[in-house]
Amino acid sequence: MRRPDTHRSLLATLKGERQARPPIWLMRQAGRYLPEYRALRAEKGGFLAMAMDPAAACEITMQPIRRFGFDGAILFSDILTVPMALGQKLWFETGEGPRLAPPLTDGAAIDALAPGAADTLDPVYAAVRTIDAVLPAETTFLGFAGSPWTIATYMIAGQGSRTQEAARRLAYADPAAMARLVDRIVTVTIDYLAQQHEAGAEAVQLFDSWAGSLSPEQFERWVIAPNRAIVAGLRARCPDLLIIGFPKGAGAKLADYAEQVGVDAVGVDETIAPEWAARFLPTGMPVQGNLDPLALIAGGDTLARAIDRILAAFEGRPHVFNLGHGILPDTPIAHVEALLERVRGVR
């Protein structure tokens, strides 16, 4: 089902149209800072159970749209659904985060991994269809996936890691094995995002949350090249799909990513000066970002100055206002309301 054709400021911005005020959505805008989310989670149980329940995923996706009227709604799911499709078992340990089994510690383990059931990701596509049917006509619908390097770090270690050392060691010690894993992730991700689009998502974001852990040469091999392959595959299958790339922690390598990967827009994290991004990213390319989530928690004059700096820096190009990373659980709702008022010019 497709929603009625109407002006969607976020979609227009991603197509390269500069708006009088930038559209806004926030990474992790559906989540623990909202009391309605906490209530539903207490009722439904664990995170993964909700993400794989189409009705619950729809409700959670819609909560921040109802409360704040963001210009974009992002599917409530998790980047680690792709490892499930590739045959790993996924669960979440309370207070500790995701676990995947078996860990892919070497080439033999990678080669032994058998694909999951063909219908593993069907609940995600059902959630997309359910959301698309109820989302306001003016709201852009965003799907997403994790980028191959980031997904590989979890699959290799069997859990999250601050340094991604296990994946980095394997990439150096056995690059052929790493390439086999990354290629499998690329193939599944193309189909995964294409099916999200076919179910109703108008744009998608590629999250490369751990891109910042790589050297320049490794960044070229494990971030730029695989994401370029995903974009090319999606262009062939879904020519009207808009793609945002977000290689968190890329630093100055972000310019190479923006020039070489082929995404429609690039996300900028909070460690990059917005003035630098405005100067060195490709002329006319839409940018997304890049308010520090901790500035949002601070509120007051700190928040106002940070917002105004970002708005001024990106005034001359298409800009989607967002955070530099996900919203934090202790973010006051009143600060989100103040952010929206200031971005939208309501004083």
Q: Which residues are catalytic?
A: 28, 32, 41, 78, 154
What is the distance of C-alpha 37 from the center of its chain?
Answer: 19
For 110, the token pair is 């990678």
Q: What whole-number distance in Å separates Cα of residue 170 and Cα of residue 19?
A: 45
The span from the CA of 62 to the CA of 125, in Å, is 16
Nearest to 259 by CA among 248, 245, 269: 245
The verdict on whether omega for the bond into residue 102 sits within 30 degrees of 0, i.e. cis, is yes
Element (H, E) at 177: helix 175-199
DSSP conformation class of 223: I
Which class for 300: exposed (0-12), middle (13-18), buried (19 or more C-beta within 10 A)?
Answer: exposed
Annotate 264-326 with DSSP letters as a single string: SEEE--TTS-HHHHHHHSPTT--EEEEE-HHHHHH-HHHHHHHHHHHHHHTTTS-EEEEESSP
Note whether 301 and 268 are within 8 A (CB): no
Give the pair of three-digit tokens for residue 278. Answer: 């405005």
Give the C-alpha distances (Å, rounded to integers) separating 337 from 93, 96, 212, 314.
32, 30, 31, 22
d(CA 106, CA 103): 9
CA gap 210, 150 in Å, rounded: 5
- Residue at token pair 């390439």: 179
